[in-house]
Amino acid sequence: MSIQYQGLVTHGLASQIADKIKQAILDGALKVDERLPTEEELAQRFAVSRPTIREALKRLAAQHLIRSRRGPTGGTFVNQPTQAETRLMMANATALLVSMGELSLGDIAETRQEIESLCCRLAATRRTDAQLAVMAEEIKRQRDPTLSDQDFCASDVRFHCTLIASAHNPALELAAAGVIESLQPAVNLMIFRFRDRAQVANQHDTLYQALVARDAQGAMSALTHYMDVLTTQYQAAQEASETPKKPRKIKPVTAQAPRHE
């Protein structure tokens, strides 16, 4: 006798209301930038109190589905989700999984290599001159000995993001966001420990030259070498750190989500 319990109030009023509004947005009943009723009106319409409505709205705000403003022309509006926001969300979620030990850095490294590799293949034919210029600029910067370690790491991130952007596929950028960002703390750790900047810059240069020549194979090969060095150095760093008990002490620095509501 399998009884259906799903219709009951298993999840709290606020949750149910949040779901209803979310569904309305997804179904298109509420369009982007459309203002939904005031909290009082919503409370009356759902036959609950204003705090309950507010909790529902806060849940949606946490997912960046709505934004709120005070004042006569204020209210709650449907938010247009941007790719940048979604990327950040995915990066945060992935970083959380890593810090909880649900994802191994090895798996992430492999995924990053595979995805960046196919980005190389696509970028070899699709890259624009402007993107090549950005890469060249970053390589030049990475060879500046006066650059701080922190700025060097930032430059490394920008280089790889430009590589992925050169594939000209937003969906691919989205899929790659998580693995790029959540591997970066480990990359930073290595660079801080060994300061092997010249090697990194040279491999970036090799990759860049291959893209200039539209040489997909060359670019993929350069990337493979880059990732190999990274993996090797990371393992060395881990062994050298002499704390094998806590292999994932790397703390994600990428939180800092831009707030706007």
- Least distance CB 114 / DNA (angstroms): 41
Which of DNA, its own copies, none lies near 252, with the C-beta cut-off 5 to 8 A by kind?
its own copies
Question: Given the complex with DNA, which of 73 and 146 has the nearer CB atom?
Answer: 73
Contact set with its own copies (CB under 8 A): 10-12, 14-15, 18, 22-23, 26-28, 32, 51, 54-55, 58-63, 65, 80-83, 86, 89-90, 93-97, 99-100, 102-104, 107-108, 110-111, 114-115, 118, 122, 169-172, 174-176, 178-179, 251-252, 255, 259, 261
Stretch of 33-41, 93-101, 132-140, 193-201 contacting DNA, by CB under 7 A: 33-41
| Cβ 208 to its own copies shortest distance, Å | 22
The CA distance from 230 to 200, in Å, is 9
Cβ proximity to its own copies: between 60 and 201 the closer is: 60
Residues in the chain: 261
- Each as own residue / partner, the long-range contacts of residues 195-203 (CB below 8 Å, 24 or more positions apart, any chain) are 195/149, 196/229, 196/233, 197/142, 197/143, 197/152, 198/143, 199/229, 200/142, 200/156, 200/226, 200/229, 201/139, 201/142, 201/143, 203/229
- Determine, following the binding rule CB under 7 A, whether residue 155 of this chain makes contact with DNA: no
Determine, following the binding rule CB under 7 A, whether residue 117 of this chain makes contact with DNA.
no
User: Applying CB under 7 A, which of residues 33, 51, 144, 149 lies at the interface with DNA?
Assistant: 51
260 lines the binding site for DNA (CB under 7 A): no
Asked if residue 34 binds DNA (CB under 7 A), the reply is: no
Residues 35/46, Cβ–Cβ less than 8 Å: no
Annotate 4-43 with b (16+ C-beta within 10 A) or e (fewer). eeeeeeeeebbebbbeebbeebeeeebeeeeebeebeebb
Q: Which of 19, 75, 111, 229 binds DNA (CB under 7 A)?
A: 75
Radius of gyration of the chain measured on its C-alpha atoms: 23
132 binds DNA (CB under 7 A): no
Cα 188 to Cα 180: distance, rounded to the nearest angstrom: 12
